[in-house]
Structure 1
């Protein structure tokens, strides 16, 4: 055991050379920030020409730890970041209404990404005989490539999102008609109790990987993964229906690792903001998922009418067209939170 009273020795397998680790972290920090910290927050705000209270608000929204006025924790990069932020505010890009939400979204997204990337690099580093040296080498060789790749991915998604928004009506309106679908793992809580931590992570990662592949390949877009649930949207209702049915079919196959799932799908006007979706259509899709039986896909009136080409008031005993891709079974109206008489249909392949 090493510590103040037990110095680390070569024979101690659990020894941690703290000075070496500190040196390694200092090198990595300097590489990531461009230089070693040499400025206080007061000096950063003064050099950027931004009021200190504005700078503090931005740092807080980004999720950075609070610093005292005399703490030397900043670099010239922080000055440039404040200047750029102030420029965006003057240009009207970061207005009073959008500033907090947008900056907070940046902070949360990059914090999660950084945590995952750091864990990955650390796992690779500890496999070698000299983790500190290996971590320093990885920071110098891997991170510049990761940074360029992140910029490329961001630009590609930005181009795609711009095309989607402007293609609607040329106005850039945030509300569009889309299909929204939630897919939820059946029996997640009970299954998770039987798995070791590593097995649980592997199981969830397999679900996320396969769900993402299906959504993207069939023309949908992942909005977010929420633990044991995936939320996606599609411009075409048929694409969303196909994705949901593929997932439930895979979940019903005992030979497939894909877990058993259930799905709820709704179609209508959806508001998109900061990468998320909002509105009654989203709420209805979530409520349908909560009442769907294992292995089934429930759709709302809007999705039913688009997929079937019928009115929701048509005779439910009328046979579906022989050449229709899907069949529907109207269920009883269901009371759910926020909707006392929600009308669902069970969606199946013909």
Structure 2
């Protein structure tokens, strides 16, 4: 290894790591690039205009007509995509959105996995090319199989949830259903993040996301996405979601718990589900309630309150959720004038 003037180690200049990266590319793409984009389109039997549109939506770098940048794997992928279009699985309305979602999702996953490869390749400081080759031989095949397994399990779960419920097939087709939405937001994120270095900040956020994921699964809720210091969740019923939000805020108020202080907003109503995300007025209400909620508190909308208020009235029953609601002054937030809201607590808390 050589050192620069500051004494930092640099990568070997003999091209061995570059050769290893090229070998990795050939392994992942089933061979060395030998085709231009026009040759790929011709071999797949796909119009060049369609091929270019699909590559753009997937987020791939644009290449010139003369660039030899593709392999037989690209031909097969383009052919399969065209088959899905021909079979009607991808229609004109869903094609762009679905392919774009694939591109963004796998681009983020690839960025993380590349960081993992870099760490493995450079960890001993002696043979990065050999380490990368071993990674390709021993690790990548297992990652490939595991990704396929995870996708299949989630597909099974989603199909069981949507297609077997009452009206589920219709809801799946229309992508509209009644759900409970919750945003959980870290209190004082900006100030706290300034006191952490990069690795500490990543560790802190990963701990938050990991704990949210575990608690959500236990409660029967689903994480839609993490947005920096905020997590968006959905559930099929308001009771479990309110219980989950209260559990998270309670952990945040416990000084002995690493879980950060949070606030939450919960709303129940019609939700549009599309490509793994959720949209609509109910989602917006949950977001607005979170923005005005006090630290350690959970605010709920009228839909959530009305669904759980009968249980509150009979809260002495053994099987009734022990929630206590308190009406707050109507709030005016962007898009919603005089929004009705309630704070909610477990009955055992005062």
Bucket of the pairwise TM-score, normalised by the shorter protein:
over 0.9
CA distance in 2, matches of 1:14, 1:112: 27
Match of 2:113 in 1: 117
1:168–1:176 Cα contact (<8 Å) kept: no
Which of 169, 172, 188 is the matching residue for 1:171? 169
1:125–1:132 Cα contact (<8 Å) kept: yes
CA distance in 1, matches of 2:168, 2:234: 21
1:165–1:172 Cα contact (<8 Å) kept: no
How many Å apart are 1:176 and its aligned residue? 1.2
How many Å apart are 1:15 and its aligned residue? 5.1
Match of 2:206 in 1: 205
Which of 129, 151, 154 is the matching residue for 1:154? 151
Match of 2:13 in 1: 17
Which of 94, 100, 107 is the matching residue for 1:104? 100
Moved over 6 A (4+): none
Match of 2:135 in 1: 138
Query: What's the CA shift string for 1:255-283, capped at 9, x where partnerless?
Result: 00000000000011111110001111100
CA distance in 2, matches of 1:2, 1:204: 35
Going from structure 1 to structure 2, the CA distance change for 1:34 and 1:15 (only over 3 Å counts) comes to closer
CA distance in 2, matches of 1:254, 1:111: 38
Query: What's the CA shift string for 1:197-221, capped at 9, x where partnerless?
Result: 1111111111000011100111100
Query: What are the ranges of 5 or more consecutive residues in structure 1 without an aligned counterpart?
Result: 311-317
Q: Superposition pairs for residues 7-46 of structure 1, below 5 Å?
A: 13-14=9-10, 16-46=12-42
Secondary structure of 1:168's counterpart equals coil
Q: Residue 65 in 1 paired to residue 61 in 2?
A: yes
Secondary structure of 1:195's counterpart equals coil
Secondary structure of 1:343's counterpart equals strand
- The CA RMSD measured in Å over matched residues stands at 1.9
How many Å apart are 1:320 and its aligned residue? 7.4
Q: Residue 285 in 1 paired to residue 286 in 2?
A: yes
How many Å apart are 1:16 and its aligned residue? 2.2
Match of 1:51 in 2: 47
CA distance in 2, matches of 1:271, 1:13: 52
How many Å apart are 1:2 and its aligned residue? 7.0
How many Å apart are 1:295 and its aligned residue? 0.1
- TM-score (normalised: structure 1): 0.92
Q: Superposition pairs for residues 66-105 of structure 1, below 5 Å?
A: 66-105=62-101
2:2–2:12 Cα contact (<8 Å) kept: yes
Query: What are the ranges of 5 or more consecutive residues in structure 2 without an aligned counterpart?
Result: none
Secondary structure of 1:268's counterpart equals strand
CA distance in 1, matches of 2:53, 2:97: 12
Q: How many residues align?
A: 337
Secondary structure of 1:156's counterpart equals helix
Match of 2:232 in 1: 231
Match of 1:244 in 2: 245
2:330–2:341 Cα contact (<8 Å) kept: yes
CA distance in 2, matches of 1:259, 1:79: 48
How many Å apart are 1:124 and its aligned residue? 1.9
Going from structure 1 to structure 2, the CA distance change for 1:301 and 1:13 (only over 3 Å counts) comes to closer
1:320–1:327 Cα contact (<8 Å) kept: no
1:45–1:82 Cα contact (<8 Å) kept: yes
Match of 1:337 in 2: 334
Query: What's the CA shift string for 1:105-124, capped at 9, x where partnerless?
Result: 00000000011011012112
